[in-house]
């Protein structure tokens, strides 16, 4: 084989290798972009930190959040949702009070529009009513969110959090994906 043919063959091999590397790089970038698009706008995994949602969710549970649902519908009572507490920290809580409702904690129980809330989640007598020691009426786009472990939860009862506006609720918990033995839909 002549030197010219060897050079041509070497160039072809180099160009084919370069095309394959560029093709692989392009595929990886598309996959990376698609993954970010999905987690930014549709589904996002998050890890639970803390005990505020026990006995429903536990420390280190991994959840899958639907970030799309609330663009077309409003949160409903008892939905489990996430909202940002700070730039790097999200809280997982349950929707208790809906827009326009008057809510108060009396004698350790939640009252909505003067009637005791019947629920199967926060079963303990609430020791700290926080801002609900007096009744409050939620605004037209405000939700009252509480942890299921009511006596060990920083939630809407706190002056620092208070009622949460709908546009701050980033998504609805749809399933626990880890630990695998405790997977379930919400």
Q: Write out the catalytic residue numbers.
A: 52, 93
- CA-CA distance, 123 to 153, in Å (whole number)? 13
Counting Cα atoms < 13 Å in the Cβ hemisphere of 132 gives 32
With CA atoms as reference, report the closest residue to 92 among 167, 157, 158, 155.
155
Count the neighbouring beta carbons within 10 Å of the beta carbon of residue 33. 10
Is 147:155 a contact under the CB 8 Å cutoff?
yes
Instruction: Report d(CA 172, CA 93) in Å as an integer.
Output: 10
Q: What is the distance between the alpha carbons of residues 126 and 130, in angstroms, rounded to a whole number?
A: 10
- What are the strands, taking DSSP E only, across the chain? 43-47, 62-66, 80-84, 90-97, 102-106, 109-112, 115-116, 136-137, 142-146, 164-165, 171-178, 184-185
């Amino acid at each position: 084989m002549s030197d010219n043919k060897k050079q041509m063959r070497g160039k072809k091999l180099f160009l084919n290798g370069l095309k394959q590397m560029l093709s692989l790089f392009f595929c990886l970038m598309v996959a990376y972009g698609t993954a970010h698009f999905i987690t930014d706008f549709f589904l996002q995994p998050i890890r639970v930190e803390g005990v505020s949602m026990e006995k429903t969710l536990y420390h280190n549970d991994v959840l899958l959040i639907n970030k799309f649902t609330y663009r077309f519908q409003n949160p409903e009572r008892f939905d489990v949702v996430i909202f940002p507490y700070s730039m790097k920290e999200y809280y997982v809580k349950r929707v208790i009070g809906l827009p326009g409702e008057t809510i108060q904690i009396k004698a350790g129980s939640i009252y909505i529009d003067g009637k005791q809330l019947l629920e199967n989640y926060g079963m303990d007598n609430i020791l700290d009513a926080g801002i609900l020691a007096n009744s409050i009426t939620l605004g037209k786009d405000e939700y009252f969110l509480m942890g299921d472990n009511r006596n060990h939860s920083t939630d809407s009862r706190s002056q620092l959090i208070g009622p949460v506006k709908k546009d701050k609720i980033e998504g609805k918990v749809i399933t626990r994906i880890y630990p695998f033995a405790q997977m379930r839909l919400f």
